[in-house]
Amino acid sequence: MHKIDPIRPSFRLEVLTAGQIQQIQAATLHILERVGVHFPSQRALQVFAEHGAQVDWEGQVVRMVPELVMGALSHAPRSYVLSGRAAGTELILDGTASYFGTDGCGTLTLDFETGEQRRSCKDDVARMARVSDYLSSVSFYWPMVSAQDFGRLAPLHELDAAFSNTVKHVQSETVMGEKPAQYAVRMAEAIAGDRERMRARPPFSVLVCTIAPLGQDPEGIEASMVYAEAGIPVGFMAMPNMGATAPAVPGGALTVGNAEVVSAMVLMQLVAPGAPVFYSLLASVMDPRTADYIVAIPEKYLCNTAAVQLAHDWGVPVLAGAFGMDTAEPATWQIGRDHVYTALMVPLAGADLVTGGGMLKASTLLVPEQIIYDDEIYHTHRVLVQGIDTGADGLALDVIAAVGPRGHYLTQEHTRQHLRKIWIPGLTQPRPPLDGSPLPDIRERARAELDRILAQHEPEPLDGAIRTELQAILDAAARELGV
Amino acid sequence: MSEEILAKLAQAVIDGEPEDAEGLARQALAGGLDPLRCINEGLTPGIDRVGELFATGEYFLPDLIIGGDAMKAALAVLEPALTGDQERKVLGRVVLGTVEGDLHEIGKTLVGTMLTANGFEVTDIGIDRPAAEFVSAVKETGATLVGASALLTTTMLHQQEVIEALREAGLREQVKVMVGGAPVTESWAAKIGADGYAEDAISAVDLAKRLAGAG
């Protein structure tokens, strides 16, 4: 079985025309030049000032002319490779495939044994890493919940649990701040072997969230400069909430989010020209009656898909979002509807990376068996977007002639071979139990599959010396940063 | 030599190679092997293995049918060579067909293959067969089971005619009748006086075993 099985679409979806992309890009450049973005970091402001940006030191706002933006982004690579720590785990971000990963980083878990909702812990991160190591729908692992049993060092312990329990690429959205980032880089170096190998085939990448509207997070920006200098790929995710932190129109939300992400990517290229970066934008809508956050809504699906086109127009890979919808109940009509839109539209638009599998309640709650449902939707889409083979074997003209009118195809060798190649959804089309007992309910089946994976799948263990080194790094971090 | 050819016969059934199976059967007879032994120690273990692989989900329906075809191809060579007192041990003899006016074949063929694979001797009389042909096939083969398939609400009425024709021919006590097909239900089977109904080819085997007193 393949460790990872990316989606390779044979047809494409575009929600923005080329003209519309130009309109949004022009609007974004206008915002960057005239309105500016808040960068609450002395180092970042310094870098911008040195490169000719207009810096408002008191307000910590940076304004940059289009020439600065386009010049900086011209150094950003469109294609590069992310890697796991074993052969067959490379993610080649060249626009031909979509690699999906898990969701994160929640704070609540439905307990694996009791099913009771509780605060998340490091063991949850480890267990889900093992499940993700098994599932070919998961190409990269986001620690899904916070290792809350490790206090201030939780983010580094999430990395430790991830590296120890999956050979796949690990991406973090929690290791922020200059010092913790330096420890994370050391951990990635330990996994890769040395700094050069880490740069060539990074086993670790980072996603930093911007702050809408038009702002950056100080810890995130400090960390991102450390990562960019070390060669760790770093992405920026804008999350415009239409009506609250962004205009209540998709075009405006895209423009605000675009400006946040682009300004941060410019900073990376000024700090470390050629640093691998990626783009991410997930929109949502404010509930007009409660101010809650609605993620399962058409405007979000549209913006997420448009964001893929915008990223590629800037010439960088993109991390899109799928799954992880509002409701806390798996196996419902609602979750099925919501998960299908997101998980189908973004790969069809050509998203390089897609996050989101396995979480519910707007990515805050880990429901352990949810990843089994998402895996099935993923593979449904993987097959769906392959399209239709109209070559000789795909048309099967000889076989049609051999069977003729009124026959059947069951005894054809062609049938025998090709029927076996058809992916049969295991959750919705299960094999009947061998002992003739009634088929369990779909929730029981999903749970049984999760339990089977946890009981049987042993990821390739980390080398003993690397394990020791990771522990030494965690101990050093505890001494310096406190616990 | 004999052990080797028996294993090859079994493998030809497992691999679903009708031509190989037929050739091996001829080779076995030419080499002086007992045809009954070829059936019992070659073909039967082969088809049993096919059944197991299907039950565990490893084999699909085409594998099962092609395996059955391989067995049939070898049997066509071996059975005529059986001597007078030799008889292949079977769970029962079945006459199987699709009723008059109905051209649907696949479900009926699947049931036949499954029954063959499970040790029944099946005489498949084909599709669009009037009740009288079911009766004459029972007389010829001495069958104790009849399977009548119908896929249309308009043709399922003919299943009742098969049962009536068997009664009129004085054969109703000798045979058990099972009915199947998409529009057919348990209650329809009861209404027309059939002995059993099965939803699919797999449950048809259980039903046939029960009706034959073998399961």
Average pLDDT over residues A308-319: 98
Contact B62 A431 (CB under 8 A): no
Residues B198/B178, Cβ–Cβ less than 8 Å: yes
Instruction: Report how far apart, in Å, the C-alpha atoms of A205 and of each of A83, A174, A227, A245, A471 are.
Output: 10, 11, 8, 27, 20
pLDDT tens per residue across span A38-91 = 999 999 999 999 999 999 999 999 999 999 999 999 999 999 999 999 999 999
Q: Do β-strands A319-321 and A353-357 pair in parallel, antiparallel, or remain unpaired?
A: parallel
Residue for token digits 């998203």?
Answer: A351
Instruction: Report how far apart, in Å, the C-alpha atoms of A82 and of each of A1, A169, A279, A313, A378 are.
Output: 20, 7, 15, 21, 21
Instruction: Report how far apart, in Å, the C-alpha atoms of B145 and of each of A187, B88, B119, B203 are.
Output: 72, 17, 13, 15
For B110, name the nearest residue in chain A, comparing CA atoms only.
A410
- Return the structure tokens found at B51: 């059944």
Contact A410 B57 (CB under 8 A): no
For B61, name the nearest residue in chain A, comparing CA atoms only.
A410
As its CATH architecture, domain A1-387+423-483 has Alpha-Beta Barrel (3.20)
Contact A416 B69 (CB under 8 A): no
Contact A412 B69 (CB under 8 A): no
| Terminal alpha carbon distance of chain A | 41
Backbone dihedral angles phi then psi of residue A215, each to the nearest 5 degrees: -140, 165
Q: Which of A408, A415, A419 sits opposite B105 (nearest CB)?
A: A408
Tell me the one-letter amino acid at A229: E
pLDDT tens per residue across span B13-24 = 999 999 999 999
Which residue intervals of chain A bear CATH 3.20.20.480? Answer: 1-387+423-483
Residue for token digits 């054969």?
Answer: B171
**Interchain contact A420–B (C-beta under 8 A):** yes
**Interchain contact A429–B (C-beta under 8 A):** no
Backbone dihedral angles phi then psi of residue B36, each to the nearest 5 degrees: -65, -35
**A103-112, A176-185, A209-218, B63-72: least confidently modelled range:** B63-72
**How many whole angstroms from its chain centre is CA A383?**
20
For B69, name the nearest residue in chain A, comparing CA atoms only.
A411
Residues from chain A contacting residue B69 (CB–CB below 8 Å): 411
CA distance A365 to chain B (A): 35
Interface size A-B, in CB pairs within 8 Å, comes to 30
pLDDT tens per residue across span A366-401 = 999 999 999 999 999 999 999 999 999 999 999 999
CATH code: domain B2-81 is 1.10.1240.10
The pLDDT value given to residue B174? 94
The pLDDT value given to residue B1? 63
Q: Report the candidate in A322, A335, A336 with the shortest Cα–Cα distance to residue A137.
A: A322
**Interchain contact A406–B (C-beta under 8 A):** yes
**A221-225, A330-334, B111-115: least confidently modelled range:** A330-334
Task: Report DSSP letters for A227-266, one per residue.
Answer: HHHHT--EEEEE--EETTTB-SSHHHHHHHHHHHHHHHHH
Beta bridge partners of residue A320, listed in sequence order: A354
Residues A363/A106, Cβ–Cβ less than 8 Å: yes
How far is residue A279's CA from residue A260's CA, in Å, rounded to a whole number?
Answer: 10
The pLDDT value given to residue A293? 86
Beta bridge partners of residue A294, listed in sequence order: A285
The pLDDT value given to residue A100? 98
Backbone dihedral angles phi then psi of residue A126, each to the nearest 5 degrees: -65, -45
Q: Report the candidate in B91, B43, B37, B41 with the shortest Cα–Cα distance to residue B67.
A: B43
Q: Report the candidate in A359, A381, A354 with the shortest Cα–Cα distance to residue A370.
A: A359
The CB-side HSE value for A201 (13 A sphere, CA atoms) comes to 17
For residue B101, count other CB atoms closer than 10 A to its CB.
Answer: 15
Q: Which of B14, B64, B66 to probe by mutation at the A interface, max A CB count within 10 Å?
A: B66
**Interchain contact A416–B (C-beta under 8 A):** yes
Residues from chain A contacting residue B55 (CB–CB below 8 Å): 434
Say yes or no: ipTM exceeds 0.90: no
pTM, 2 dp: 0.89
Contact A408 B55 (CB under 8 A): no
pLDDT tens per residue across span A427-471 = 988 887 777 788 899 999 999 999 999 999 999 999 999 999 999
Contacts of A239 (CB under 8 A, 6+ apart): A209, A210, A212, A245, A257, A281, A282, A283, A284
CA distance A459 to chain B (A): 25
pLDDT tens per residue across span A261-274 = 999 999 999 999 99
Q: Which of B57, B62, B69 sits opposite A431 (nearest CB)?
A: B57
pLDDT tens per residue across span A141-184 = 999 999 999 999 999 999 999 999 999 999 999 999 999 999 99
Contact B60 A416 (CB under 8 A): yes
Tell me the one-letter amino acid at B14: I
Helices A178-192, A464-481: axis angle to 10 degrees equals 170
Instruction: Report how far apart, in Å, the C-alpha atoms of B53 and of each of A152, B14, B57 are.
Output: 54, 9, 6
How far is residue A107's CA from residue A94's CA, in Å, rounded to a whole number?
Answer: 34
Residue for token digits 């009723």?
Answer: B99
In the sheet with B176-180, reading across from the earlier edge strand, the strands are B120-129, B92-99, B145-149, B176-180, B196-197
pLDDT tens per residue across span A2-50 = 799 999 999 999 999 999 999 999 999 999 999 999 999 999 999 999 9
Average pLDDT over residues A347-355: 97
Contacts 24+ apart (CB under 8 A), A459-466: A459/A129, A459/A130, A459/A133, A459/A134, A459/A165, A459/A166, A459/A167, A460/A86, A460/A167, A461/A164, A462/A85, A462/A163, A462/A164, A462/A191, A466/A190, A466/A191
**Interchain contact A410–B (C-beta under 8 A):** yes
Q: Which of A406, A410, A434 sits opposite B56 (nearest CB)?
A: A434
Tell me the one-letter amino acid at A231: G
Boundaries of every domain in chain B: 2-81, 92-211
The pLDDT value given to residue B133? 97
Contact A415 B62 (CB under 8 A): yes
Backbone dihedral angles phi then psi of residue B60, each to the nearest 5 degrees: -105, 175
How far is residue A44's CA from residue A178's CA, in Å, rounded to a whole number?
Answer: 12
As its CATH architecture, domain B92-211 has 3-Layer(aba) Sandwich (3.40)
| Collapsed DSSP state (helix, strand, coil) of residue A37 | strand
For A406, name the nearest residue in chain B, comparing CA atoms only.
B103
Q: Which of B16, B55, B62 sits opposite A434 (nearest CB)?
A: B55
Q: Which band of pLDDT confidence, cut at 50, 70 and 90, is reported for residue A275?
A: very high
How far is residue A71's CA from residue A141's CA, in Å, rounded to a whole number?
Answer: 33
